[in-house]
Amino acid sequence: MNNGWRDGLLVVWIISLLAAIGLWVSAIVIFGKGPDSVELVPLAASLAGAAAVVSFWWFVSLLLWLAVSAVVREHEKDRQQAARLR
């Protein structure tokens, strides 16, 4: 049953986690510069928006990974039980 879905979702989860962290840190660094970076405020706002979107999809991919893992575990249990009954 494990045909690569769990591994693929795990890779997507890790990449989106790293991207979200990078975007949030970039936005915080730009906002932290204060009045010296007034021209960068639109960029920081865009980075924060992108970070929010990536964080949302990180959470969705985590839920998908957990759901697929549960289905794979149940399928394996069913296969083992069927093998014992034979």
pLDDT tens sequence for the chain (86 residues): 556 777 887 888 899 999 999 999 998 888 888 777 778 888 888 998 999 999 998 899 889 888 888 888 898 899 899 998 88
Question: Of 6, 25, 23, which Cα lies nearest the Cα of 71?
Answer: 6
- The Cα 5–Cα 58 span in angstroms is 16
Sign of the Cα torsion 63, 67, 69, 70 reads positive
Q: Which domain holds residue 65?
A: 5-85
pLDDT (0 to 100) of residue 54: 92
Residue 57 neighbours by CB under 8 Å, 6+ apart: 16
pLDDT (0 to 100) of residue 2: 58
Number of domains the chain is built from: 1
